[in-house]
């Protein structure tokens, strides 16, 4: 599976130095956001969430085609 395409990525620090939010638009899924204790963790969490949601969307699409 190809990695999800994340567009309009935004990463911000929220309050404390260990609270980061990553958000972006994922092609085929929509807007997502994820949290982490560092910039890198927040980005990794967003990528993992995007891959999970994209797999779910493809599964639903495949089920619809099989019906």
What is the reported pLDDT for 11? 94
Cα distance between residue 30 and residue 53, in whole Å: 9
Nearest alpha carbon to residue 12 among 31, 32, 35, 29 = 35
The answer to whether 20 touches 39, Cβ cutoff 8 Å, is yes
Q: What is the arrangement of strands in the sheet containing 20-26, beginning at the earlier edge strand? A: 6-13, 20-26, 30-36
E strand residue ranges, 1-67? 6-13, 20-26, 30-36
Instruction: Tell me the pLDDT of the chain (67 aa) as tens digits.
Output: 677 889 989 999 988 999 999 999 998 889 999 999 999 999 999 999 999 999 998 888 888 888 7
């Amino acid at each position: 599976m190809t990695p999800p395409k994340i567009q309009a990525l935004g990463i911000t620090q929220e309050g404390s130095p260990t609270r980061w939010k990553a958000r972006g638009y994922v092609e085929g899924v929509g807007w997502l956001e994820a949290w982490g204790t560092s910039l890198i963790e927040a980005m990794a969490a967003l990528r993992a969430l995007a891959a999970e949601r994209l797999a779910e969307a493809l599964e639903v699409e495949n089920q619809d085609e099989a019906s």
